[in-house]
Amino acid sequence: MKKTMQSLLRQALAKLKEQGVLDGGLDPAISIERTRDPQHGDLATNLAMVLAKSAKTNPRQLAERIIAALPEHAALRKVEIAGPGFINFFLDPAAQYRVVATIHEQGREYGRSEVGQGKKIQVEFVSANPTGPLHVGHGRGAAYGSAVADLLDAVGFDVHREYYVNDAGRQMDILATSIWLRYLEECGEILPFPCNGYRGEYVREIAWEIHQSAGNEYRRPAELVMEDIPPDEAQGGDKEAHIDALIERAKTLLGSAQYEDFLQAGTTRILKDIQEDLLEFGVPFEEWFSERQLFDDGSVDDVLRHLREAGHLYEKDGATWFASSLLGDEKDRVVIRENGQFTYFASDIAYHLDKLRRGYDRIIDIWGADHHGYIPRIRAALRALGEDVDKLQVLLVQFAVLYRGREKVPMSTRAGEFVTLRQLRNEVGKDAARFFYVMRRSEQHMDFDLKLATSKTNENPVFYVQYAHARVCSVLRQLDENNWERDHLSGMQNLQRLTEEHEINLVGTLSRYPEVVEKAALQYEPHLLIQYLRELANEFHTYYNAHQFLVEDAGLRDARLNLVCGVKQVIANGLDLLRINAPEAM
C-alpha cells in the first residue's frame, strides 16, 4: 500500500514539473508513514513541507497542488491537508480487508519478499575461540546474528552464515598445555596450575578422556616440566612469561606429534560441543571456516607479501608493521611479532580478503562491542589491498551484563567462572532465551538478570506472544466441539462486517507485517520484529476480551475466524523467522 501511494505521488510530482510548478531537477525520496492518530487517516506524507522551500511557496498551497495532480485510485477514499502541510490519506476499508485474503493465500510466505534480489551476503558471527564452551555473552551474538541472517534470507538475499574458527595461535597453545597439565594430574603428578591457564571443568574432562584411552603415554615427571620455569603471577612473576614457558616446555617434552594430539583433542572436542550447542539453540551455519587453514594454504603469507610489495609493511623493533595510520587507523599495527609469530590481525586480513574474493555483494561481521577499535585497521587493510571497503559492514553487539538478582556475576573464561549458554537454555528454554536476547537493540547495553530469566514463572514476554497463537488454536478446537462448520469463502465475503474498532486496528496491523520484516532486515534490527509481534499479540488479546468470535451469526463468525486465523498465521510466521516455537496449546 505504501508503495502504491509512493508511485501515485511520483506521478503527481511529474505532472507538477510539466506545469512548471516544481523544478525539474529535484526528485526527493518520498516518505510515507503510517499515522499514529486515526484522525490523520491511514497514511501520511510530509512531501509538501519538504518541497515548499524549493518551490518557493508555502507547504499548504503546495499540498493542494499535489493533491490536485494526484491520480485517482480505487483504494483511496479521501485525501486531506492537515497541520503545517501534511497530506493525509484515508484508505477504503474494503481495500484494507484484502490483506486477510492475502495472508490466507500466501500462508507461510506472507511477509517474505524479494527486495534482496538474490544478492549474495555473508554473515559471520559468534566466532568464539574454541577454547571452552559458549557462555551467555556469546549467546547474544548468536541469537542476534542468526536473526539478522534469517531476516535477510526472508527478504530475498542469498545468505551464507559463517563461523570463523580461531583454531590457530597462542590461545590454542594455552588450551593444549592446560589439558596436558590436567592430564599429568590425572597421572598422579603433582604440579601447580598456571593462573593464566584454562581452569574450566571441561579441561579436566578432556584430560581424563585422554588418560582413559592413552594411559601414561604422555606422562612426564613434574620436576622436568617445571624445571627453570619462570614464576607465575601468584609467586610474584609474570603470568604471560610463565605460561609461554610452559607451552614451550610442553612442546619440547612431548615432541611435535604428541603435542599436536593435545591440540587436536582440545579443538575437536570443544568445537563439536559448540556446534551441538548452537544447533540446539537454533543457530545453524553453512560454513565453519578454519583460521589454521589460512596458514596452511599460504593465504597469510600471500597477503602479507602482497602488502609488502605495495609498500604497506615495514620493519621496526624487530617486528613487522602494517602502516594502517596512513589509511584511517589511529596507529600502525604489528602483523608479525618480534618472536616471529603472526598476530591475530595478520590472519584476519587474509580472512577478510578471502571473504571478499569469494564474490559476496556484502559481508557482515558481527562482533562484541569491545572489538570496536578493531574496525579501522581491518578497513585500512582492505583499502590497502584495493578492495571495496563499503562491502564490509561491522555490526556490534554489546555484551550482556549478567546479574543474579542485584548481584553482578563475574565472568572470565580463564578462571572458569561463567554461566554457559547451555545452562541458560536448560533453565529458561530456547524460546525464551532467543526472544530475550533479540528483544533489545543490539548496541544497547543489556542487563540480563538470570533470576528473572530463569524464573520459569511467566513475566517473560515470549509467553505473551505464544499465548496469542495458542488462543487462536483453542478457538478453532472449540469450533469443532460446537460442531460448527467453518465456511472460508463466506468468511471472506463477510469481511466488510468487521467494523469494530478492534477489528479495523487488527487488519491494519496485519497489513504492516511485510513492511516490518523488510525494515528489520535492511536495518539489521530484529528487535523491531519482536516489538511488532508483541503489539499484534496485544491487539489480539484485547479483541479476544472484547468480542466473542464464536457467535451464532455464521457470516460474522466466519469473517472473525478468518481475521483471527490471519493473526495466527502472522504470529507463526514471525516466530518462525526468529526460530521460536508457536505452540498450539499452552
- In this complex, which beta carbon is closest to RNA, that of residue 224 or of residue 372? 372
Would you count residue 505 as binding RNA (CB under 7 A)?
no
Nearest in space to 140 (alpha carbons), one of 397, 445, 370, 366: 397
Query: According to the binding rule CB under 7 A, does residue 262 interact with RNA?
Result: no
At closest approach, how far in Å is the CB of 128 from RNA?
8
Euclidean distance between CA atoms 504 and 90, whole angstroms:
13
Considering only residues 59 through 78, tell me which ones interact with RNA, judged by CB under 7 A: 59
By the rule CB under 7 A, 372 interacts with RNA: yes
- CA dist., res. 66 & res. 83, Å (int): 16
Q: Taking CB under 7 A as the rule, does residue 369 contact RNA?
A: yes
129: Cβ contacts below 8 Å, ≥ 6 apart: 166, 171, 172
**Region from 12-20, 93-101, 336-344, 381-389 binding RNA, contact rule CB under 7 A:** 336-344
CA dist 125 and 164 (Å) reads 8
Nearer to RNA, 75 or 184 (CB): 75
What is the DSSP secondary structure assignment for residue 336, as one 8-state letter?
E
Does the protein bind RNA through residue 562 (CB under 7 A)?
no
Residues in the chain: 586
Is 447 near RNA (CB under 7 A)?
yes
Interface pick for RNA out of 316, 359, 485, 489 (rule CB under 7 A)? 316
408 touching RNA, by CB under 7 A: no
**Cβ of residue 218: shortest distance to RNA, in angstroms?**
25
Q: Contact letters (x/-) for RNA, 180-219, by CB under 7 A?
A: ----------------------------------------
**Of the two residues 167 and 189, which places its CB atom closer to RNA in the complex?**
167
Give the nearest distance from C-beta 395 to RNA in angstroms: 11
According to CB under 7 A, which one of 196, 267, 290, 343 is a site residue for RNA? 343
From 135-143, 195-203, 371-379, 420-428, give the range in contact with RNA by CB under 7 A. 371-379
Taking contact as CB under 7 A, which single stretch among the options 117-125, 194-202, 471-479, 572-580 is the one that binds RNA?
471-479
Enumerate residues 513-552 that contact RNA by CB under 7 A: 519, 523, 525, 527-528, 531, 534, 538, 541-542, 544-550
Residue 576 grid cell: 518462525
Of 23 and 584, which CB lies nearer to RNA in the complex structure? Answer: 584
Tell me which of 337, 391, 497, 579 binds RNA, using CB under 7 A.
337
Q: Which is nearer to RNA, 2 or 579 (CB)?
A: 2
Which of 563, 572, 515 lies closest to 540 in space, CA to CA?
563
Closer to RNA by Cβ: residue 210 or 419: 419
* Region of 147-155, 199-207, 387-395, 466-474 interacting with RNA (CB under 7 A): 466-474
Phi (first) and psi of residue 32, to 5 degrees: -115, 135
Q: Quick one: which segment of 193-201, 276-284, 296-304, 364-372 binds RNA (CB under 7 A)?
A: 364-372
Contacting RNA within 129-148 (CB under 7 A) = 129
Q: Determine, following the binding rule CB under 7 A, whether residue 578 of this chain makes contact with RNA.
A: no
Among positions 357, 371, 408, 488, the unique one binding RNA when judged by CB under 7 A: 371
Report d(CA 154, CA 577) in Å as an integer.
Answer: 8
Closest contact distance (angstroms) between CB of 222 and RNA is 27
Shortest distance, position 265 Cβ to RNA, whole Å: 19
Query: Rule CB under 7 A: is residue 467 a binding residue for RNA?
Result: yes
Query: Contact, 479 vs 557, CB < 8 A?
Result: no
**Residue 478 interacting with RNA (CB under 7 A):** yes
Our CB check for RNA shows the closer of 210 and 267 to be 267
Pairwise CA distance, residues 544 & 434, whole Å: 27
Letter string b/e over residues 127-166, b meaning 16 or more CB atoms within 10 A of that residue's CB: bbbbbbbbbbbbbbbbbbbbbbbbbbbbbbbebbbbbbbb
Q: Which stretch binds RNA (CB under 7 A): 213-221, 434-442, 485-493, 574-582?
A: 434-442
The dihedral over CA atoms of 223, 226, 228, 232, expressed in degrees to the nearest 10, equals: -150
Taking the complex as a whole, the smallest distance from the CB of residue 185 to RNA amounts, in Å, to 25
Block residue for cell numbers 523467522: 577
If the CB atoms of residues 34 and 219 are measured against RNA, the closer one turns out to be 34
CB 95 within 8 A of CB 74: yes
Output 534 or 579, the one with its CB closest to RNA.
534
**Residues that contact RNA, how many (by CB under 7 A):** 86
Nearest distance in Å: CB 455, RNA: 11
For 490-504, give one letter per residue: b (16+ CB within 10 A) or e.
bbbebbeebeeebbe
Closest CA to 172 of 35, 46, 324, 347: 347
Q: Is 6 in the site for RNA (CB under 7 A)?
A: no
User: Taking CB under 7 A as the criterion, which residues in 26-55 touch RNA?
Assistant: 31, 33-37, 39-40, 44, 46, 49-50, 53
Assess contact for 85 and 58: CB atoms under 8 A: yes
**Given CA atoms 32, 35, 38, 44 in this order, what sign does their dihedral have?**
negative
Q: Is 247 left (phi over 0), alpha (psi -120 to 50) or beta?
A: alpha
143 CB contacts (<8 Å, ≥6 apart)?
A: 281, 283, 433, 434, 437, 438
**CA-based max dimension of the chain:** 95
Q: Does residue 444 belong to the site contacting RNA (CB under 7 A)?
A: yes
Q: Does 581 bind RNA (CB under 7 A)?
A: no
Which one of 16-24, 154-162, 217-225, 337-345 is the stretch in contact with RNA (CB under 7 A)? 337-345
Q: Does 113 bind RNA (CB under 7 A)?
A: no
Q: Long-range contacts: 461-464, Cβ < 8 Å, 24+?
A: 461/435, 461/530, 461/534, 462/431, 462/432, 462/435, 462/436, 462/580, 463/432, 463/586, 464/534, 464/537, 464/538, 464/541
Residues within window 149-168 making contact with RNA, judged by CB under 7 A: 166
| CA separation for the pair 81, 60 (Å, rounded) | 7
C-alpha cell at 21: 510548478
User: Is residue 475 close enough to count as binding RNA by CB under 7 A?
Assistant: yes
454 part of the interface to RNA, by CB under 7 A? no
State in angstroms the smallest separation of the CB of 359 from RNA: 26
Interacting positions 223-252 with RNA (CB under 7 A):
240
Decide if 146 contacts 283 (C-beta within 8 A).
yes
